[in-house]
Amino acid sequence: MKILGIDPALTITGYGLIDVRNSKLVLVEAGIISTSSKDLLTSRLDKIYRGIIKLITDTSPDVLVLEKIYAHYRHPTTSYILGQARGVICLAAATKNISLVEYAATRVKKAVVGKGLASKLQMQRMVAGLLDLKSIPKYTDVTDALGLAIAHSYIVRIKL
């Protein structure tokens, strides 16, 4: 099963594709889609959309996994902007007829690290270890995306 995890954001959207083969996690591809704050919002959203469409077309994942929005009452604008990025990613999944699954950040951390309130560093180290990476990815967005994919592989296994 190929699982594409996406950590959406307007500036840096991280993605990570893993393949689960005989209960082994194999990294297929990971990276970022970046946009410039100097560009118009519509251009930035279009770049994310087109990047996700290309990624889905090139890699043919079985499922796309996104993190549920957590909106902090002190930063409502952040959730609004994040919602726009998530919207074009959801549209890309629908356009390419890919199943979409969402998990809360605490559920992902619980599945991957064993603690729902695990730190970013704990997640990074666990993801790197589980995928036999020689180093931790440069962008936490990539690690978060890979964490989403790994968590889904564990959660699906538990439900079966």
pLDDT tens, position by position, 101-133? 999 999 999 999 999 999 999 999 999 999 999
Of residues 139 and 23, more confidently modeled? 139
List C-alpha distances in Å: 130 to 5, 35, 46, 81, 144: 15, 30, 33, 32, 13
Tokens encoding 112? 């991957």
pLDDT at 160 over 80: no
pLDDT at 100 over 70: yes
Task: Kindly report the pTM of this predicted structure.
Answer: 0.94
Look at residue 79 in the predicted model and tell me its pLDDT. Answer: 81
Could you give the CA distance from residue 38 to residue 11 in angstroms, rounded to a whole number?
10
**DSSP label of 115:** -
pLDDT level of residue 159 (50, 70, 90 thresholds): low
Of residues 7 and 74, more confidently modeled? 7
- Residues with a catalytic annotation lie at 7, 67, 141
| Single-letter residue type at 130 | L
pLDDT tens, position by position, 8-28? 999 999 999 999 988 899 999
pLDDT tens, position by position, 69-90? 876 677 777 788 889 999 999 9
Q: Residue for token digits 């297929």? A: 28
E-strand ranges in the chain read 2-7, 12-21, 24-34, 63-67, 99-103
**DSSP label of 37:** T
